């Protein structure tokens, strides 16, 4: 009997029990320097190197949690003809290519899953298509290995991301079909795309949404998530929970390394977080706002000093660890650029991130976390049960160039509750 995974994410740090990933494939290389910017990249990645690095992340996750691959899940749901037709209807409608639906319906499920992710080539059957400079009728999903953004586990529901760029919309449609119809999952999906009212100004991406505690959600607003997106989340949660706090952090729109909240703030332990100090702690123009709802009604919206201060007022006293170390802003800026704050928690005080951010790793080590190489975990040279606190390091020469780290590349579906 297949185990069901009801969604259960009431914190960022609870012991991981189920996680979804997408191993990067040919879609990562199905671009040219000329269209890389449209694909939300500043450069094109070397797939063979990126794959080796990603396999370190995957190998560790498989040691500690049930791990699902997007392509396998998609293949499974496409076996249902009604699900398959409905998903293709939505994709072809949103991407304005109704003419290719009949062709897609003829594909065997594994091939269809592959093409929906890697891209569907344009058939040169008319003069218009022959003269078109577009190589793909459905563009490759270059960013899908950042599974965090398209679907967001919050408590016992899954919010579907409404991506700021249309090039990523298909990711959310695929993830919604998986959560709605795959036999492994039991959850309620909530999508702005299904609203009957105008949702054009709503944008939500999972890198901006962090579950701090059973009654506290942190949300970044900036280049990828809008205030209207936060209002949408608030509307769902205030009716669901008797007490609900949302801490909102404004983010810079440039440089591109600030695209999400988890690029400047992540939680590491019950009493520790990782921050990019210039945005989170120092005086700047980026507001921190506390919204509190009780009994389905917003009681107040007020400005706070910063995220750690707002959380302390709510009984979560977190010590901020500094990305790049405390001594030199040069290293802070450099390591933030390469996802130096973007850690993914396997359990309280047990995290995974890039080895290349040496000053950040030193900061973690100074605060009691043993540094362990991912390769040693995979080869079983170390037993993680022997360590109370640790940071597992993965190689990161290529993956960070896509614009994300360990948290970006993981979508947790179940964590154990934390006894705060």
For residues 77 and 83, is the Cβ–Cβ distance under 8 A? yes
Name the H helices within 293-328. Answer: 307-313
Strand partners for 160:
151
| Cβ neighbours for 330, distance < 8 A, ≥ 6 positions apart | none
Average pLDDT, the chain: 93
Lowest-confidence segment of 124-133, 148-157, 263-272 by average pLDDT: 124-133
Which pLDDT value is given to residue 125? 73
pLDDT band at 316 (very low <50, low <70, confident <90, very high): very high
For residue 8, pLDDT over 50 is answered with yes
Can you tell me the mean pLDDT for 122-136? 76
Which pLDDT value is given to residue 34? 60
Can you tell me the mean pLDDT for 323-345? 94
The strand ranges marked E within 51-105 are: 66-69
Q: For 323-335, b where at least 16 C-beta lie within 10 A, e where not — what string?
A: bbbeeeeebbbbb
For residue 1, pLDDT over 50 is answered with no
219 closest CA partner among 240, 245, 242, 239? 245
Lowest-confidence segment of 96-100, 174-178, 194-198, 274-278 by average pLDDT: 194-198
Which pLDDT value is given to residue 155? 97
Both tokens of 306, joined, read 């910063």
Task: Tell me the pLDDT tens digit for each residue of 43-85.
Answer: 678 999 999 999 999 999 999 999 999 999 999 999 999 999 9
Strand partners for 298:
293
Both tokens of 61, joined, read 């996750």
Task: Tell me the pLDDT tens digit for each residue of 72-118.
Answer: 999 999 999 999 999 999 999 999 999 999 999 999 999 999 999 99
Can you tell me the mean pLDDT for 266-293? 95
Structure pTM?
0.95
Which pLDDT value is given to residue 45? 85
Which pLDDT value is given to residue 2? 59
For residue 39, pLDDT over 50 is answered with no
Place of tokens 């802003």: 329
Residue 408 CA neighbour count, 13 Å, CB half: 28
Sign of CA dihedral 32, 38, 43, 48: negative
For residue 177, pLDDT over 80 is answered with yes
Domains in the chain (CATH in brackets) are 5-415 (3.75.10.10)
Task: Tell me the pLDDT tens digit for each residue of 203-223.
Answer: 999 999 999 999 999 999 999
For the packed helices 81-94 and 70-78, what is the interaxial angle rounded to 10 degrees?
Answer: 110
Both tokens of 297, joined, read 């009604």
Q: For residues 338 and 333, what is the distance between their CA atoms, to the nearest angstrom? A: 9
């Amino acid at each position: 009997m297949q185990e069901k995974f009801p969604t259960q994410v009431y914190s960022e740090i609870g012991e991981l029990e189920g996680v979804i990933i997408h191993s990067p494939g040919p879609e990562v290389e199905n671009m040219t320097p000329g269209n890389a910017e449209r694909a939300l990249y500043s450069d094109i990645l070397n797939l063979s190197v990126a794959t080796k690095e990603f396999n370190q992340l995957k190998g560790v996750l498989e040691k500690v949690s049930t791990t699902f691959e997007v392509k396998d899940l998609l293949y499974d749901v496409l076996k249902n003809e009604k699900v398959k037709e409905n998903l293709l209807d939505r994709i072809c409608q949103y991407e304005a290519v109704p003419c290719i639906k009949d062709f897609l319906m003829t594909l065997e499920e594994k091939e269809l899953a592959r093409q929906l992710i890697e891209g569907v080539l344009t058939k040169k059957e008319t003069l218009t298509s022959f003269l078109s400079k577009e190589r793909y009728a459905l563009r490759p999903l270059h960013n899908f290995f950042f599974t965090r953004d398209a679907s967001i586990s919050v408590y016992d529901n899954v919010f579907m991301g409404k991506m700021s760029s249309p090039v990523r919309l298909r990711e959310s449609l695929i993830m919604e079909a998986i959560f709605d119809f795959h036999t492994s999952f039991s959850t309620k999906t909530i999508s702005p795309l299904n609203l009957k009212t105008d949702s054009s100004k709503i944008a939500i991406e999972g890198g901006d949404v962090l579950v701090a505690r059973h009654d506290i959600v942190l949300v970044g607003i900036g280049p990828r998530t809008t205030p209207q997106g936060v209002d949408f989340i608030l509307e769902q949660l205030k009716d669901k929970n008797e007490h609900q706090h949302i801490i909102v952090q404004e983010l810079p729109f440039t440089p591109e390394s600030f695209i999400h909240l988890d690029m400047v703030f992540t939680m590491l332990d019950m009493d520790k977080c990782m921050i990019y100090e210039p945005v989170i702690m120092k005086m700047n123009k980026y507001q921190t706002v506390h919204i509190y709802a009780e009994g389905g009604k917003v009681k107040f919206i007020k400005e706070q000093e910063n995220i750690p201060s707002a959380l302390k007022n709510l009984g979560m006293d977190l010590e901020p660890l500094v990305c790049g170390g405390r001594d030199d802003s040069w290293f802070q800026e450099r390591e933030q650029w390469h996802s130096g704050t973007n850690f993914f928690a396997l359990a309280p005080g047990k995290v995974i991130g890039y080895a290349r951010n040496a000053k950040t790793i030193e900061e973690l080590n100074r605060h009691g976390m043993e540094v362990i190489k991912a390769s040693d975990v995979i080869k079983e040279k170390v037993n993680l049960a022997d360590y109370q606190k640790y940071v597992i390091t993965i190689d990161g020469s290529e993956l960070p160039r896509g614009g994300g780290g360990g948290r970006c590349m993981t979508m947790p579906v179940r964590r154990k509750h934390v006894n705060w």
